[in-house]
Amino acid sequence: MNILIIGGAGMVGQKLAHSIAGGGLGDISVERLVLHDIVESRIPRAPFAVESMTGNIGDPSEASRLAALKADLVFHLAAIVSGEAETNFDKGWNINAHGSWYLLEALRNEHDASAGEYRPKLVFTSSIAVFGSPYPDKIGDEFLSAPQSSYGAQKAITELLVSDYSRKGMIDGISIRLPTIVVRPGKANLAASSFFSGIIREPLNGKEAVLPVGDDVRHWHASPRSAARFLTHAARLDTALLEGRRAINMPGVSCTVAEQIEALRKVAGEEAVRLIRRQPDDMIIRMVGSWPRDFEPERALALGFQAEGSFEEIIQVYLEDDFKTQ
């Protein structure tokens, strides 16, 4: 099997690439892995060929170049993150919505040119940002998608495109709605949710962290390790089991910021907690206030997707996987 990861230089793309290199796809035999992003991707050691490509998926010609690879399995992870998509309207729509449509159109052209023989499996990383308030106590699998941000709208549109191109037989797609992924290693990015990682990562590394929202904010989380597992599980899943409903809520951990901090205290002590500085940010408060807080992901659990059971466990994953590599 030939595999393409679009967004391969990003944190989740790198976790996925290393998982595949280490046998994360189980009995699926891999011949070639291509990592594509706007910058060069780090190449993991693997028992098969791995290469990096660079380009902008907001350019239709780049989508055609990627589709011409005729990958059997395409992971579409590339996106402008939530905060940047909100503040840079044109860039968000060009990459997150137009770029996805260009990719699907290019795959459709390869499908048509092969008289229907080429039909790749496509796994798209969507987001819980496709939902909007008012919310029930827990969002079930029947809750409507009604985003209240540009990022959420762009993800929701791509979900619909993936479903329709799959219905027409041009691809075999699945959209997985990721929780907020924490604890992210490295520097903070431009996502409005970045502080959820920062208030854990920075104190664990002896640095000050800024908390822009109140302690009572509740949110839905999973680790980078779980994100990679969601993706590899989706790649192996028989999409007939989805019964035409190709967007699915991933499992995770619901907790408040106060509960995050208490988990940090249990793991690293009061000295780490003292490094959190409260500095309210009205824009982030408004954005986070419109995000989902808790889920009942019964479909995903029934289909074998798994995540952590507590936020303390998420912190332990960071310590095991990324703490020493910071």
Peptide bond into 288 cis (omega under 30): no
151 is catalytic: yes
Distance CA 157, CA 168 (A): 17
282 is written with which tokens?
Answer: 């009205």
The total of other beta-carbon atoms located within 10 Å of residue 206's CB is 10
Catalytic hit among 102, 118, 135, 151: 151
Measured torsion, CA atoms of residues 272, 307, 123, 43, in degrees rounded to the nearest 10: 50
Classified as helix, coil or strand, 204 is helix
Is the separation of the CB atoms in 275 and 206 below 8 Å?
yes
181 CB-near residues (< 8 Å, 6+ apart): 11, 12, 197, 221, 222, 223, 224, 226, 227
- Catalytically annotated residues: 151
